[in-house]
Amino acid sequence: MLKNDNFLKACRREPVDCTPVWIMRQAGRYMKEYRDIRKKVDFLTMCKTPDLAAEVTLLPVDILGVDAAILFSDILIPVEAMGIGVRFTEKKGPILSNPVRSEFELNALLTPDSVKSEEMMPFIPQAIRLILQELDGRVPLIGFSGAPFTLATYMIEGETSRNFTWIKRIMYTDAALLHRLLEKITTTVIHYLNMQIKAGVHAVQLFDTWAGWLSPDDYREFALPYVEKVIKGIDKKGCPVILFANGVSGILEQMVDSGADVIGLDWRIDMVDAVRRSGNRVALQGNLDPCVLYGEPSVIRRHAKDIIDKYGKRSGHVFNLGHGILPDIPVEHAKALVDIVHEESSRQS
Amino acid sequence: MLKNDNFLKACRREPVDCTPVWIMRQAGRYMKEYRDIRKKVDFLTMCKTPDLAAEVTLLPVDILGVDAAILFSDILIPVEAMGIGVRFTEKKGPILSNPVRSEFELNALLTPDSVKSEEMMPFIPQAIRLILQELDGRVPLIGFSGAPFTLATYMIEGETSRNFTWIKRIMYTDAALLHRLLEKITTTVIHYLNMQIKAGVHAVQLFDTWAGWLSPDDYREFALPYVEKVIKGIDKKGCPVILFANGVSGILEQMVDSGADVIGLDWRIDMVDAVRRSGNRVALQGNLDPCVLYGEPSVIRRHAKDIIDKYGKRSGHVFNLGHGILPDIPVEHAKALVDIVHEESSRQS
């Protein structure tokens, strides 16, 4: 049914004619078409209006020629459904109205089941169905959720944090409270992802963005078990699961053990090391420094080719940046990256 | 001459009766005595007034019982001497008046030699001599400098950055400009450290705090060569050199190759891995998550003991946090850490 299933094949470590590529935050502010829509409506309204979410999701497929679309949404959508007020500010990013720092706030949280999820977030399956219709099988659609630890950082810190002092304070003074919060988030995430899978996404990515700020032992206690529960708990129906963290180098082996099909790498690990350490047990996604896209196409080519060469001829590489694309990257450079990855990887095979 | 030289012995991988410990930013805002002084004078004045710098440097020796003092100063002091205006704000930290982003600013930079360094930063050797006098051989004194790449991030970004987009933009569009800047900084750092060594510090630490935000290949091109030049270039006179970065996991082997005697680890690498990967070629410093100090002494003990046990019985461990102590840590918890490290490591030996 899919005209281009290179992305799904690579996730399953099957051979492809050229390395598939998509870009984290590929539907974003660096695109004029995105900024034009964003001028008219605020960010959360974009996420919650299926027409707009679908329109924006399609942009990078049409403009860049990426090998996968990813649902335009925000990792805090299910957090809102748990009963926490979320608003987005230009300067500081998300601000949460009632951070969870005690039993009191914890007990007030909802854990929307499948019925409640559809009731509270109907725009998610609506957007997915609309996107699938408009994609018309050109490329697969990726759904996603924040992973429990990363969602917990936002729920406890109340905003994007630099040192994660609130969640770590709780981690080292009341670990039981944090575990109970993580359980509630895990339940919510399972239903949230099942809703997306039921609506038809072809793969899901778990963003455990901040888990790389944990010591490896703390990752083992506070992040990994909940990622494993989510992966075991969802009704995958053949969907590959991608697990991404920013700062994987200290925790890669643990991530490989999570049950995920694909590990998403940031740029601070050498691809040769990542291949060796993951021991052919998973596919790998990544891992270009997002700032390389400031460079001219010749610079982009040198760095992208380097990663493709390091991954080598084995199957199972999804090309991506090591973190989200930055808002001031020229769109032609993003387009150049997609073309370069296709060219250089076809040349290799 | 030194009454307690455990720190220097550990740096040289010689046997000690118990593991020495000091804490990055040990003279800092978490101490009432520090805040009392800071109320009266601004931060840069503290750094530039030898009496005050000495008083503050001694606080953690007197109050916590750490095994080394570290000169109270700021990594941007030599940057100011290169001709860049530096001021400190409560909210955003350092703000630099004229960031280096083109040939024009680069050419205007000074590279103070040994004579000029003493002329422009007389307060540095003055503070060192005062501290040594007041320490009276109780523990060694550590001098320090920012490493070239990390100083370049401040000089180019103009402030503490989140994504380092300015320096990386230059890295991928005009690498030659960045290399010329790094050369100038390297020359400055060599003279700056020589001035400290001449004044009598017993060891020096190079803070390459932000080098861990580089891909391993970029570290090899833009950070490592300049660290090597500094280490080769300084007149060590027996001073061990500690090389610290935040985010060592992807670059540890390269750091071990730098010629440093001690590698300072952040908390996001398991000590067992760090020991194995550094292959007994250097001493290791670290690596407790600074947030563990939010926990009660029993929690601190469990985590500190864990690191001591993982390092094992071999010589060459300097205990420290994986990054600077946070300003809202109770001083009793810092004191408890020092005692716990001494107790647990004596028990082991």
Q: Is A7 helix (H, G, I), strand (E, B) or coil?
A: helix
Q: How far does B117 lie from chain A, in Å, by closest CA?
A: 35
For the segment A282-319, what is each residue's pLDDT rounded down to a tens digit? 999 999 999 999 999 999 999 999 999 999 999 999 99
Q: What is the average per-residue pLDDT within A251-276?
A: 98
**CB B175, CB A302: distance < 8 Å:** no
Alpha helices in chain B (DSSP H): 6-11, 32-40, 43-48, 50-63, 77-81, 103-108, 114-120, 123-135, 148-157, 165-173, 175-199, 216-222, 224-233, 252-256, 271-278, 297-311, 331-348
pLDDT by residue for chain B (349 residues), tens digit each? 899 999 999 999 999 999 999 999 999 999 999 999 999 999 999 999 999 999 999 999 999 999 999 999 999 999 999 999 999 988 888 999 999 999 999 999 999 999 999 999 999 999 999 999 999 999 999 999 999 999 999 999 998 887 899 999 999 999 999 999 999 999 999 999 999 999 999 999 999 999 999 999 999 999 999 999 999 999 999 999 999 999 999 999 999 999 999 999 999 999 999 999 998 899 999 999 999 999 999 999 999 999 999 999 999 999 999 999 999 999 999 999 999 999 999 986 5
**Closest alpha carbon within chain B to A300:** B172
State the DSSP string of A15-35. Answer: --SS--B--TT-SSTTSHHHH
pLDDT band at A162 (very low <50, low <70, confident <90, very high): confident
Q: Predicted ipTM?
A: 0.95
How many CA atoms lie less than 13 Å away from B267 in the CB half-sphere? 25
Q: Where are the domains of chain B?
A: 6-348
Task: Find the catalytic residue in A30, A154, A192, A219.
Answer: A154
Contacts of B70 (CB under 8 A, 6+ apart): B22, B24, B26, B27, B57, B141, B142, B143, B144, B205
Torsional sign, CA A144, A150, A152, A157: negative
C-alpha A27/C-alpha A9 separation (Å) is: 23
The strand pair at A93-96 and B262-264 is best described as unpaired
Share of chain A above pLDDT 70, in %: 99
Q: What are phi and psi of A242, to 5 degrees?
A: -105, 130
Res. A143: pLDDT tops 70: yes
Q: Is residue A349's pLDDT more than 70?
A: no
The per-residue b/e assignment along B101-139, b for 16 or more CB within 10 angstroms, e otherwise, is beeebeeebebbeeeebbebbebbbbbbebbbeebeebb
Strand-strand pairing, A141-146 and A203-207: parallel
Residue A259 makes CB contacts below 8 A (sequence gap 6+) with A228, A231, A232, A241
Q: What percent of chain A has pLDDT over 90?
A: 95
Q: Which residues of A touch B217 (CB under 8 A)?
A: 270, 306
Residue type at B233 in one-letter notation: G
Beta partners for residue A320, in sequence order: A287
Give the whole-angstrom CA distance, residue A119 versus residue B219.
Answer: 49
Given a cut of 80, whether residue A104 has pLDDT beyond it is yes
> What residue of B is the nearest CA neighbor of A267?
B215
Chain A residues lying within 8 Å of B161, measured CB to CB = none
d(CA A319, CA B49): 53
Q: What integer pLDDT is reported at residue A91 of this predicted model?
A: 82
Q: How far is CA A120 from CA A99, A295, B228, in A?
A: 20, 43, 58
Suggest the residue from B174, B291, B302, B310 to mutate for an interface test with chain A (most A CBs closer than 10 A). B291
State the smallest CA–CA distance between residue B132 and chain A in angstroms: 34
Residue A15, by phi and psi: left (phi above 0), alpha (psi -120 to 50) or beta? beta
Section A231-235 average pLDDT: 98
Sheet containing B69-70: give its strands across. Answer: B69-70, B141-146, B203-207, B241-244, B262-264, B283-285, B317-318
Strands (E) across chain A are located at 69-70, 86-89, 93-96, 141-146, 203-207, 241-244, 262-264, 283-288, 317-321
Could you say which of B172, B268, B295 has the minimum Cβ distance to residue A250? Answer: B268
On the CB side of A201, how many CA atoms lie within 13 Å of its CA?
Answer: 30
What is the number of CB-based contacts under 8 A between chain A and chain B?
Answer: 100
Residues B32 and B106 sit within 8 Å (Cβ to Cβ): no
Measure the CA–CA gap between A121 and A119, rounded to whole angstroms: 6
pLDDT of B160:
84
CA distances to B85, B176, B222, B228, B243 from B179, in Å: 22, 5, 7, 14, 20
d(CA B222, CA B150): 10
Question: Which residue do the tokens 């075991």 mark?
Answer: A232
Strand B93-96 relative to strand B69-70, pairing: unpaired
Q: Looking at the predicted structure, is the pLDDT value of residue A236 above 80?
A: yes
Tokens matching residue A49: 């209006």
Mean pLDDT of A36-40: 95
Report the candidate in B290, B313, B286 with the shortest Cα–Cα distance to residue B300.
B290
Report the interhelical angle of A148-157 vs A175-199 (nearest 10°): 120
How far away is chain A from the Cα of B237, in angstroms, using its nearest Cα? Answer: 35
Asked if B217 and B209 touch (Cβ cutoff 8 Å), the reply is no
Instruction: Pull the structure tokens for residue B330.
Output: 């109770």
Report how far apart, in Å, the C-alpha atoms of A174 and of each of A169, A206, A211 are: 8, 26, 19
CATH topology of domain A6-348: TIM Barrel (3.20.20)
A71 and A77 in contact (C-beta within 8 Å)?
no
**What are φ and ψ of residue B216, in 5° steps?**
-55, -35
Element (H, E) at B244: strand B241-244
Give how far A258 is from chain B: nearest CA, Å.
Answer: 18
Euclidean distance between CA atoms A102 and A111, whole angstroms: 17
Mean pLDDT of A27-56: 97
The pLDDT of residue B286 = 97
Give the span between the Cα atoms of A160 and A234, in whole angstroms. 28
Mean of per-residue pLDDT scores for chain A:
96
How far is A62 from A181, CA to CA, in rounded Å? 40
Active site residue B29: yes
The C-alpha atoms of residue A189 and residue A82 are separated, in whole angstroms, by: 10
Cβ burial, residue A271 (10 Å; 0-12/13-18/19+): buried
Give B7-65 as a DSSP string: HHHHHTT---SS--B--TT-SSTTSHHHHHHHHHS-HHHHHH-HHHHHHHHHHHHHHT-
DSSP B291: G
Query: Omega into B287 within 30° of 0, i.e. cis?
Result: yes
The pLDDT of A209-223, averaged and rounded, is 97
Q: Specify the pLDDT at position B162.
A: 77
Tokens of A45: 């309204």
- CA-CA distance, B192 to B211, in Å (whole number)? 20
> Which residue in the list B67, B74, B208, B266 is annotated as catalytic?
B74
Active site (annotated) includes residue B101: no
Active site residue A38: yes
Q: What is the 3-state secondary structure (H, E, C) of B118-143?
A: HHHCCHHHHHHHHHHHHHCCCCCEEE
pLDDT of residue A56 exceeding 70, the answer is yes
Check CB contact under 8 Å for A294 and B169.
yes
Residue A328: pLDDT band by 50, 70, 90 thresholds? very high
Structure tokens at A20: 């598939």
Name the pTM for this structure.
Answer: 0.97
Taking the C-alpha atoms of B69, B70, B71 and B74 in order, what is their torsion angle to the nearest 10 degrees?
-150
Active site residue B36: no
Structure token pair of residue B155: 């000089």
CA-nearest of B144, B141, B2, B146 to B58 is B141
pLDDT value of residue B349: 56
Residue indicated by tokens 């100083």: B151
Q: Out of A172, A215, A273, whose CB is closest to B268?
A: A215
Is B294 a known active-site residue? no
